[in-house]
A = this chain, B = another copy of it.
């Protein structure tokens, strides 16, 4: 459902939010901690920088950090930048002409579930997740 790039992006953003301070976190540190390819992660995070969820800084002690408060970054924002929003509008059977006015046989029941998933991603912020991590016992990202 989510691309590998998107999953990695979410994991990285959670890691960054959890360790959010004034200084920058290096991409190589994140890649090591999350067991990801440095090169692949670099490109994903570049997208998030362009999407204004992250700020980056080059040179020694450089890295990335959140561009805004963790409570202002929703999961859907990360998904939109990495995967786009096709998933939340496309027909589950891949029919281009399918829409509310012109439904495929399973359009309505899918539109319902799809909408709930979208709401879930819209209503969850990085702050929520970090708080949950501190409350619950969660596995290492």
The one of B10, B92, B110, B120 in contact with A113, judged by C-beta atoms closer than 8 angstroms, is: B120
Chain A interface residue bracket vs B: 20 to 34
Per-residue B-contact encoding for A7-35, CB less than 8 Å = 1, 0 else: 10011001000000000000000000000
Residue interface bits A112-141, CB-to-B below 8 A is 1, else 0: 010011001000100001001100101101
Contact A139 B102 (CB under 8 A): yes
The one of B92, B97, B132, B136 that contacts A7, using a Cβ cutoff of 8 Å: B92
Copies of this chain, tallied across the complex: 2
Q: Are A103 and B136 in contact (CB under 8 A)?
A: yes
A-B contact pairs, 25 of them (CB 8 A): A2-B92, A2-B93, A7-B92, A7-B93, A7-B94, A11-B93, A14-B105, A75-B106, A95-B139, A95-B141, A97-B139, A98-B139, A102-B139, A103-B136, A103-B138, A103-B139, A104-B138, A105-B133, A105-B136, A105-B141, A106-B124, A106-B129, A109-B120, A109-B124, A113-B113
Known contacts A105-B132, A113-B113; can you find 9 more A-B pairs with CB under 8 A?
A: A1-B87, A102-B139, A103-B139, A104-B139, A104-B141, A105-B133, A105-B136, A106-B129, A113-B117
